[in-house]
Amino acid sequence: MAMHKDPVCGMHVEEKDAAARSEFRGKTYYFCSSGCKEKFQVNPERYATETAPARS
């Protein structure tokens, strides 16, 4: 069981249950919802470089 942290909201997501995923600079990011993926895709550098989830 591989767990990942959604970079947008901070929720922990199991890889096999992720609602969405996206690649950025060779790394795969996993999301709890398509809405989090959409926010990520608008500005991936904002979320890919932060250690804590960014709130909008």
Distance CA 20, CA 35 (A): 9
Domain ranges of the chain: 3-48
Give the confidence band of 56 by pLDDT, cuts at 50, 70, 90. very low
Task: Say which residue, 14 or 52, is predicted with more confidence.
Answer: 14
Mean pLDDT of the region 5-16 = 96
Q: Half-sphere exposure of 48 toward its Cβ, with a 13 Å CA cutoff?
A: 15
Mean pLDDT (the chain, rounded): 90
At residue 24's C-alpha, the angle toward residues 55 and 22, to 5°, is: 75
Residue 12 has pLDDT above 60, yes or no: yes
Span 28-41, pLDDT tens digits: 999 999 999 999 99
* CA dist., res. 54 & res. 15, Å (int): 21
Tokens standing for residue 4? 């990942």
